[in-house]
A and B are shown apart, each in its own frame.
Chain A
Amino acid sequence: MTEYHHLEIHNLTMAYGDIVIQENLNFTVKQGEIFVIMGGSGCGKSTLLRHLVGLMQPAEGDIFINGVNLWQASQMERNEIISHSGVLYQGGALWSSMTLAENIAVPLMEYTQLTEKQITDVISYKLSLVGLAGFEDYYPSEISGGMQKRAGLARAMALDPDILFFDEPSAGLDPISSRLLDDLILELRDSLGATVVIVSHELASIFAVGDQAIFLDSDSKTIIATGAPKELLESSDDPRVRRFLTRAAHGSMETEVRTYV
């Protein structure tokens, strides 16, 4: 597969009304890459993700997915682009009044012409991929948080997306489940060749899966570091990045407290 830029962000400024969250963001995500957006709480990571998946319109700047400008396309084209991406929300965001099977069936019925039998087959295949074989008829409230997350992933993958977005995949999971989810992300990337964008502040999973990363800072309101997470840990000379990646083992705690409180 030829390497090309799956996602390109030019001079993106994000704002809620007059309050600017981040400005002058520039980065590209290559096809098949696992790209991590990291940063402390409240720096705008999740807001950036909401921009990338088309839920929020940029205050300024452009987002290109597969070379198409997301916000200069018509509503129809935008839906078409977005249907090729899968999103896993923090809490799974499963529709609570539907069973897992119905949850996964919604995008399949909406965007494909599959027969009922084929849809049932796809559902059981997707559920088995995330280790939930046989849980078709359960409601989200009847399964655990980790299972909800995996079911959310099954739904995000329903349409064989070529780009997957994850919002805090490890949040609320025990270390083992979180590790298994990381492995699953890697497996899926390797086997499907999909591009993966992850918003996370879980160091373990950032180092485990991330090929490339950007570090958002809430004070300077922009990207202060770019590169592979491991390299950033070894060679970054920015104290803020080092503090984050070493869990504040470097740099004095005093400045830490002043920054975050």
Chain B
Amino acid sequence: MSAVVHEKYILEPRDAGFCLQLTGDWRFSDGIPDIEPLLQRLSAEPTQQQLNFDGNQLGKWDSGLMTFLVQLIEYCQQQQIEVKTAGLPPGVQKLLTLAFAVPERKGARRQILGQPILTKIGNVTIEMHRSWYDLLHFIGEIILSTLKMFRGKARFRRSDLLYQIEGAGPSALPIITLIGILIGLILAFVGAVQLRLFGAQIFVADLVGLGMAREMGAMMTAIIMAGRTGAAYAAQLGTMQVNEEIDALKTMGISPVEFLVLPRLIALCITMPLLCIYADFMGIIGGAIVCSTMLDISFFQYFQQIQNAVPLKHFIIGIVKSGIFGVLVATSGCFRGMQCGRSASAVGYAATSAVVTSIVLIVVADAIITIISQILGV
């Protein structure tokens, strides 16, 4: 059989085997020839048991040449053709030796297999079961640490608590102010358009007062804090998990729940009701702006009306709710953070799922509380 000739190589039978002569530059930028014709030629003549190289004409080369040679040599090894690299430049020879120095570890390569649907359902179920178990475990730990704290035995740094309170309280005021006023404005607007038809403008005050005090104040604060603080907790604890900082606490015999979760939980339990009161107040101011500009109701009239229409118990219900929301936001933020995997994307996932979990829990809890207070008649 004849030789295979290409502008970059010539493969010809010589002596007892093949000789591959390489010419010109072999860099990726110069284009690397297809290896298939070579392999076909080699397999066409199984009697030839040796492959030699001639690299005298070889110009510049980079990984392009190397990947070509590696594939060629791997093929020869499969076909039991002996490869002699002596004709190649010394650098190439050394790299080839390196590349074949450590054989591929058996079983290292992964096979991606499609799973049957039942296996998938089974895996998801087991995963869900495990995650429920983790959650219960976490809640249990929180309760135990809280009890310990009441006995004055919980170990966390007081400065941490103050720092967390600052982060979850005063720093949140600007955004709460903005959202609070806007929610008040929107409530008043929606009410004003309808109530004006009946000449009942003054009841806008009732609407805004009741709405803010019972529902919107607590709800909006909770959602803002879920996005602002809950996500931050998940990201902080998640990063600590990645950096083995949480392991460091555990090996010192300090419970991460006591040391990290408790201050955050307490901070949110303290600041959320306060922020809720503030948001209620801001919402009512927002309503007052609409009433005084659109409906010709004076500030005095407006506040008088709210005082009569909204008894204190509505405010108290809102404040109690926001305390509960605080617990939910802190717990889901910290839980997702502690659950976090050990990569950068796991931290992102923890933060996202902390927000989603908090918001779902907030809305569900709100519905449950509304039903309970309906039954109790408060």
CB-CB nearest in chain B for A160: B62
In the complex, identify which listed stretch (A41-49, A62-70, A128-136) lies at the interface while the others stay far away: A128-136
In the complex, identify which listed stretch (A114-122, A165-173, A203-211) lies at the interface while the others stay far away: A114-122
As a 0/1 sequence over residues 51 to 82 of chain B, the CB contacts with chain A under 8 angstroms (1 = contact) are 00000000000111011001100000000000
Within A87-117, the residues touching B (CB, 8 Å) are 95-97, 112, 114
**Within 8 Å of chain B (Cβ to Cβ): is A191?**
yes
Residues of B near A124 (CB, < 8 A) are 70
Residues of A near B71 (CB, < 8 A) are 121
**Within 8 Å of chain B (Cβ to Cβ): is A190?**
yes
Q: Is the CB of A96 within 8 A of B109?
A: no
CB-CB nearest in chain A for B61: A160
Roughly how many angstroms separate A219 CA and B90 CA in the complex, as a whole number? 45
**Within 8 Å of chain A (Cβ to Cβ): is B312?**
no
Residues of A near B1 (CB, < 8 A) are none
Roughly how many angstroms separate A138 CA and B102 CA in the complex, as a whole number? 18
Residues of B near A190 (CB, < 8 A) are 91, 94
Residues of A near B110 (CB, < 8 A) are 137-138
Residues of A near B94 (CB, < 8 A) are 187, 190-191
**Within 8 Å of chain B (Cβ to Cβ): is A177?**
no
Residues of B near A97 (CB, < 8 A) are 343-346
Roughly how many angstroms separate A184 CA and B342 CA in the complex, as a whole number? 29
Roughly how many angstroms separate A125 CA and B28 CA in the complex, as a whole number? 14
Residues of A near B32 (CB, < 8 A) are 118
**Within 8 Å of chain A (Cβ to Cβ): is B95?**
yes
As a 0/1 sequence over residues 76 to 106 of chain B, the CB contacts with chain A under 8 angstroms (1 = contact) are 0000000000000011101100111111110
Q: Which of B92, B95, B112, B345 counts the most A-chain CB atoms under 10 A from its CB?
A: B95
Roughly how many angstroms separate A131 CA and B345 CA in the complex, as a whole number? 27
CB-CB nearest in chain A for B110: A137
**Within 8 Å of chain B (Cβ to Cβ): is A139?**
yes
**Within 8 Å of chain A (Cβ to Cβ): is B108?**
yes
Q: Is the CB of A129 within 8 A of B95?
A: yes
Q: Is the CB of A118 within 8 A of B67?
A: yes
CB-CB nearest in chain A for B108: A134
A171 to chain B, nearest CB (A): 16
Interface CB pairs A-B, < 8 A, 9: A95-B344, A114-B28, A118-B64, A122-B63, A125-B67, A129-B98, A140-B343, A191-B90, A191-B95
Known: A118-B32, A160-B62, A187-B98. 11 other contacts (CB 8 A): A112-B28, A114-B28, A121-B67, A125-B66, A133-B102, A133-B103, A134-B109, A135-B108, A138-B110, A187-B95, A191-B92
